[in-house]
């Protein structure tokens, strides 16, 4: 049933008249072929079913924020919330306005400012190189110890062109909410965004959030619950309400067109389609998840 559903969804997506637009503010992403689509689903019984370009690598971008949040909650627990909030925002993922209104405390860990603070927290007592190695190690462990790598060209191009992120980092610094120099924290953040995975790997990496992983070492269950709540309310930025309405389970998107979505206790799902909607979330990825959710009855809001 799931296999046929994925085949049908892939066909629909390949024929979709509007695939959205690839992100063009990061030069490396502007070059990605928008005619790619992949989906992969890991189930509780250990099965993994995939379709499309599921072994093609793409950069995690903001999907990495789910992993760094998991690491930071594991290390600092509720202490993290002194520096970053847990509320959705109606402003864009790279908005400066929210920061100014809240005196430098970002609204949630999934907008850029919030994720920069989380990365800054992870840098405590470590060098950027050690921190990055820990992030890569965490993602590798979640996948099941496969080789993954950082696309250094991607990180370099963001470092040069990411003026909005620089402005967010400087604002955080001026508000005393950045412990390290802007270039250290941002350098680490740009590299975590440039970690490359394929759809099959990403679906496996999400198993600990779906409660499917036998590896209880990843993170305490109480943190998994918190991360899923935040993915539901904030994981798609100012499009999170729309995503919850249409798809009905938690997800974290990235501007490369990847989405990691979690059906608690049932499935960890990765989808990748590079074209984005107006909120900066994968256009076809969202539609594909919506179709999958309806076909399988996977919305957490379903009563039957
Ligand atoms: N690296 C990207 C940025 O900071 C991540 C944003 C995203 O995926 N939405 O702009």
| Positive or negative: CA dihedral 261, 267, 273, 277 | negative
Residue 112 Cα: closest atom of ligand 1: 4
Distance CA 64, CA 258 (A): 10
Mutate to test the pocket of ligand 1, among 61, 156, 234 (most ligand atoms within 8 A of CB): 61
Nearest to 150 by CA among 128, 171, 183: 128
Give residue 120 CA to ligand 1 midpoint distance, Å: 16
Q: Which residue numbers are catalytic? A: 62, 65, 189, 237, 255
| Cα 111 to middle of ligand 1, angstroms | 9
SS3 letters for the chain?
CHHHHHHHHHHHHHCCCCCCECCCCCHHHHCCCCCCCEEEEEECCCCEEEEECCCCCEECHHHHHHHHHHHHHHHHHHHHHHCCCCCCCCCCCCCCHHHHHCCCCCCCCCCHHHHHHHHHHHCCCCCHHHHHHHHHHHHHHHHCCCCCEECHHHHHHHHHHCHHHHHHHHHHHHCCCCCCCHHHHHHHHHHHHCEEECHHHHHHHCHHHHCCCCCCCCCCHHHHHHHHHHHHHHCCHHHHHHHHHHCCCCEEECCCCEEEEEECCCEEEEEECCCECCCCCEHHHHHHHHHHHHHHCCCCCCCC
Render pLDDT for 231-261 as a digit per residue (tens, 0 to 9): 999 999 999 999 999 999 999 999 999 999 9
Question: What does the pLDDT read at residue 215?
Answer: 62
State the span(s) of the chain assigned CATH 3.40.710.10.
2-61+196-296, 63-195
Q: Going by C-beta distance under 8 Å and a sequence separation of 6 or more, which residues neighbour residue 26?
A: 154, 157, 158, 161, 162, 255
What ipTM does the predicted assembly reach? 0.97
pTM of the model: 0.97
pLDDT exceeds 90 at position 70: yes
pLDDT of residue 121: 98
Mutate which of 68, 108, 112 for ligand 1? The one with the most ligand atoms within 8 Å of its CB, which is: 112
Superfamily of domain 63-195: DD-peptidase/beta-lactamase superfamily (3.40.710.10)
pLDDT at 91 over 90: yes
Q: How confident is the model at residue 77 (pLDDT cuts 50, 70, 90)?
A: very high
Residues within the annotated binding site for substrate? 62, 112, 158, 165, 189, 237, 255
Q: pLDDT for 116-127, tens place per residue?
A: 999 999 999 999
| Average pLDDT over every residue of 81-96 | 95
Shortest-distance atom of ligand 1 to CA 193? 1
CATH number for the domain formed by residue range(s) 2-61+196-296 = 3.40.710.10
From the CA of 255, how far away is ligand 1's center (Å)?
A: 6
Given strand 258-263, what is the order of strands in its sheet? 48-52, 38-43, 267-272, 258-263, 251-253
pLDDT at 220: 87
Nearest ligand 1 atom, CA 164: 10
Dist. CA 257–CA 277, nearest whole Å: 10
Confidence of residue 291 (pLDDT cuts 50, 70, 90): very high
The set of protein residues with a Cβ atom below 6 angstroms from ligand 1 is 61-62, 93-94, 112, 158, 165, 193, 254-255, 280
Q: What is the pLDDT of residue 217?
A: 76
Q: How large is the greatest C-alpha to C-alpha distance in the chain, in angstroms?
A: 54
> What pLDDT score was predicted for residue 18?
95
The pLDDT value recorded for residue 214 is 64
pLDDT digits (tens, 9 = 90+) for 161-193: 999 999 999 999 999 999 999 999 999 999 999
Distance 115 CA to ligand 1 centre (A): 10
What separation in Å is there between the alpha carbon of 6 and the centre of ligand 1? 28
Which pLDDT band holds residue 138 (cuts at 50, 70, 90)?
very high
Q: What percent of the chain has pLDDT over 70?
A: 99
**pLDDT tens for each residue of 9-42:** 999 999 999 999 999 899 999 999 999 999 999 9
Give the pLDDT confidence score for residue 218 in this predicted structure. Answer: 86
Per-residue pLDDT at 216: 65
> Per-residue pLDDT for 304 more than 80?
no
pLDDT confidence of residue 213: 75
């Amino acid at each position: 049933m799931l296999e046929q559903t994925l085949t049908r969804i892939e066909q629909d997506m390949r024929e979709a008249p509007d695939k959205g637009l690839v992100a063009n503010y990061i030069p490396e992403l502007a070059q990605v072929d928008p005619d790619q689509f992949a989906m992969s689903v890991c189930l509780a019984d250990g099965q993994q079913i995939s379709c499309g370009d599921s072994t093609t690598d793409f950069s995690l971008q903001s999907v990495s924020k789910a992993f760094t949040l998991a690491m930071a909650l594991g290390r600092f627990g509720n202490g993290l919330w002194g520096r970053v909030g847990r509320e959705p925002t109606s402003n864009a993922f790279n908005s400066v306005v929210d920061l100014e209104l809240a005196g430098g405390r970002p609204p949630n860990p999934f907008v850029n400012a919030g994720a920069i603070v989380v990365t800054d927290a992870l840098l405590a007592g470590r060098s950027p190189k050690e921190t990055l190695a820990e992030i890569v190690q965490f993602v590798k462990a979640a996948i099941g110890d496969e080789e993954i790598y950082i696309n250094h060209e991607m990180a370099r191009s963001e470092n040069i062109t990411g003026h909005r992120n620089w402005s967010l980092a400087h604002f955080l610094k001026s508000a005393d909410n950045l412990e390290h120099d802007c270039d250290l924290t941002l350098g680490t953040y740009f590299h975590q965004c440039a970690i490359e995975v394929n759809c099959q790997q990403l679906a496996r990496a999400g198993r600990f959030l779906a409660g499917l992983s036998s590896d209880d070492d990843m993170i305490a269950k109480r943190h998994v619950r918190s991360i899923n709540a935040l993915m539901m309310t904030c994981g798609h930025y100012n499009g999170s309400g729309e995503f919850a309405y249409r798809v009905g389970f938690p997800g974290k998107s990235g501007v490369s067109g990847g989405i990691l979505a979690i059906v608690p206790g049932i499935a960890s799902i990765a989808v990748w389609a590079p074209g984005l909607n107006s909120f900066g979330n994968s256009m076809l990825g969202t539609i594909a998840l919506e179709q999958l959710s309806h076909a399988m009855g996977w919305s957490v809001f379903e009563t039957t």
